[in-house]
Structure 1
């Protein structure tokens, strides 16, 4: 094989692997895939997002929980008729106990007769486990003339359920047997 054809083969092979990697959607690793040492540091992030109209009516609501580790962001994307909001929340745990949550937001708003506007925000929020944290990507609730997006977060330490002993039933299933 000549040097030129070898380089061409290597280049084509590299392009194939890049194309194959680009075609595979990114998947979040499961908790089981994380290194055992990181399980001790894992946290559960409970996220509640809602859209509130000017009259204080909640027109959309979503709640979910995500498992993450310090330094690994959890993303949330809200898409509306004229707005797209993409936020990431990244917990950081410091040795001195002063834990923080970094909240990053990107907002695209299509304003009639004015075009598309883009805003970014980044906040470092002190936090404790179990504390309710509010994040307002479009601004605070002090503006009664506009709809708002509210995101509420609570972080909890991840605690694995211990495996059940042989013959033992999970709690809550006792007393459900037929007579």
Structure 2
């Protein structure tokens, strides 16, 4: 089940040590797992608890969540079983009891879609590439402007612009500067 927020980071929620549904949360661009609003965290935890065969009947269960990239799956694990690469990135929230008002609200606003995830990923990746490209072009443009200013300053400090033949005059043309006395 995907409880979707637009963006790039994707934390995964699951009832700890019990079978349950998995909830993946798309974060806003630039948002991290530490920035998840408390009400959204509660919604995700309640959803996972409600969709757990054993967890829905229990009180005070732990729901763990971690970035998707921290999930570890090896061939010797059972179906649905996962581990973590870095335990420090795993966060936990305790759900004391099922809150029907939250679940009812979520059920009323449920929007079941069957998205083309590959196309969405490609579109998001394309946008990120275009943003990086624009940033690189902006940096190159600024560097070019800085080089131009640096070159102009260098030319001002250099006397080469003064030493051009059209700027020079000779005392042969009648301007004899030796007669100042």
Class of the TM-score when normalised by the shorter of the 2 chains: under 0.3
User: Which structure is larger by alpha-carbon Rg, 1 or 2?
Assistant: 2
Considering fraction of residues, name the structure with more strand.
1
More relative contact order in 1 or in 2 (CA 8 Å, sep 6+)?
1
Considering fraction of residues, name the structure with more helix.
2
